[in-house]
Structure 1
Amino acid sequence: MDAWLVWLIAGVFAAVGEILTAGFFLAPFAVGAFAALLAALVGAGDLVQLLTFAAVTIACFGLVRPIAKRHMYQPPQIRTGTAALVGRPAMVLERISNDDNVGSVRIDGEVWTARAYDEDRVIDVGTKVQVVEIRGATALVEP
Structure 2
Amino acid sequence: MTWMTWLIIAIVLGIIEMLTIEFTFLMFAGGALAAAIAGGFTDNVAIQIIVFALVSTILLFTVRPWARRMIDQTSPENRTNVDSLPGQIAESLTDVTARGGRVKLDGEVWSARTYGSPIPEGSIVVVSRIDGAHAIVELR
TM, length-normalised to structure 1: 0.49
Conserved? CA contact 1:117–1:141, under 8 Å: no
Provide the rounded CA distance (Å) in 2 between the counterparts of 1:20 and 1:47: 30
> Computing the radius of gyration over CA atoms, which structure comes out larger, 1 or 2?
1
Output aligned runs, 1:28-107, within 5 Å. 28-43=27-42, 45-62=44-61, 63-68=63-68, 86=87
Q: CA RMSD in A?
A: 4.0
Counterparts in 2 of 1:43 and 1:59: CA distance versus 1, 3 Å: same
Counterparts in 2 of 1:24 and 1:67: CA distance versus 1, 3 Å: closer
Superposed displacement of residue 21, structure 1: 2.9
Output the amino acid matched with 2:138: V
SS of alignment partner, residue 23 of structure 1: coil
Provide the rounded CA distance (Å) in 2 between the counterparts of 1:58 and 1:47: 16
Output the amino acid matched with 1:119: T
Counterparts in 2 of 1:37 and 1:70: CA distance versus 1, 3 Å: closer
Output the amino acid matched with 2:27: P
Residue aligning to 1:108 = none
Q: Work out the percentage of aligned pairs sharing the same amino acid.
A: 24
Q: How many residues align structurally?
A: 97
Output the amino acid matched with 1:5: M
Provide the rounded CA distance (Å) in 2 between the counterparts of 1:37 and 1:68: 26
SS of alignment partner, residue 7 of structure 1: helix
Provide the rounded CA distance (Å) in 1 between the counterparts of 2:96 and 2:48: 75
Superposed displacement of residue 5, structure 1: 2.2
Conserved? CA contact 1:117–1:132, under 8 Å: no
Gaps of 5+ in 1: 78-82, 87-114, 123-127, 135-139
Provide the rounded CA distance (Å) in 2 between the counterparts of 1:6 and 1:32: 13
Superposed displacement of residue 57, structure 1: 0.4
Residue aligning to 2:105 = none
Counterparts in 2 of 1:132 and 1:41: CA distance versus 1, 3 Å: same
TM, length-normalised to structure 2: 0.50
SS of alignment partner, residue 132 of structure 1: strand
Provide the rounded CA distance (Å) in 1 between the counterparts of 2:51 and 2:93: 66
More strand by share: 1
SS of alignment partner, residue 120 of structure 1: coil
